[in-house]
Amino acid sequence: MGEAYRDIKFERAEAHIARLTLARPKQMNAYTTRLCEEVVRALEIYWRDDDLRVLIVTGEGRGFCAGGDVSGADEAHGDLMKAQLSHAREMRDGMHRVIQALHRIDKPVIAMINGPAVAGGLALALSCDFRIAADTAKLGDTSGKFGLLPDEGGAWLFPRAMGLDRALKMTMLSEVYDAQTALGLGLVTEVVAAGELDARTMAFARALAKRAPLAVRLAKAMMLRGLTTTLDHSLADAALSVMVSNPSNDVREGVKAFFEKREPKFEGR
């Protein structure tokens, strides 16, 4: 949308809905420094465009994201690895920025998991608000197979999604699960037949896009803050937030539509 990308595709799917596709299918969409930079740019556009209400993140081809590219094809990675301290810089300037950007966005993000989402790919999926997976998808943490760590945010994300003991087991034993097992572990929101993945994700996105944008954004922000604060602070946050939402045109439209027995048309103001 107005910018040139090499390793991703970023486009308006339809009214109020954008789609960000990792586009390195031959590498199962393993991320590189360039890919991370492009994703961060696209996320910034989504965040700041008030006409966009929902973002779908997916991968091109057979995979969602296979984590970091360990093939040596990323020239920037090779340059960074010449010094030990550069490993930390690579993470801070790469996938860490992606994970942080996703957690800053106060609008819905859906991961459409079309294939393997492992290691950093699983961290990417878990940084989205919802995860709709094809029944053929695989999810887990393979970093240990290479002597690597869950360093893309997995050490924080995995225990919160599935509990500490299960997260440790997955990482230490390099376990990868089928979609139904991942659903039971809390790693995905829904599992659908592979042939229905795109249609179901779009239907979910359309339903979200019809909701009142102010309420959706404030609710997400409130719940994220609530994870790291006390009940009293969360209630105080809610009291301040309703000062924005309750006087809005959207609330007036919602009440009017209810009594007129029709679908509301929210405008985000």
Nearest Cα residue to 58 out of 124, 152, 138, 157? 124
Mean pLDDT over 161-168 rounds to: 97
201 and 134, same structural domain? yes
Place of tokens 């609530």: 226
Residues 119 and 188 in one domain: yes
Q: Which two tokens stand for residue 12?
A: 């308006």
Does the pLDDT value for residue 79 go beyond 70?
Answer: no
Q: Is residue 69 part of a domain?
A: yes
Confidence tier at 85 by pLDDT (50, 70, 90): low
* pLDDT more than 70, % of the chain: 91
Q: Is residue 240 part of a domain?
A: yes
Q: Work out the pLDDT band at 252, boundaries 50, 70, 90.
A: very high
The residue assigned the tokens 């009940």 is 231
| 204 and 224 share one domain | no
**Same-domain check for residues 26 and 60:** yes
Residue 264 included in any domain: no
Tokens of 224: 């994220």
Phi-psi region of 245 (alpha: psi -120 to 50; beta: other; left: phi over 0): alpha
> CATH number, domain at 242?
1.10.12
Same domain, 202 and 253: no
Band (80; pLDDT cuts 50, 70, 90): very low
Please indicate, yes or no, whether residues 243 and 171 belong to a single structural domain of this protein.
no
Whether residue 188 is contained in a domain is answered as yes
- Angle, CA of 176, 137 and 64, to the nearest 5°: 95
pTM of the model: 0.92
- State the number of CA atoms in the 13 A half-sphere of 229 facing the CB: 14
Q: Which domain holds residue 26?
A: 8-209
54 and 117, same domain (yes or no): yes
- Residue 175 and residue 223 share a domain: no
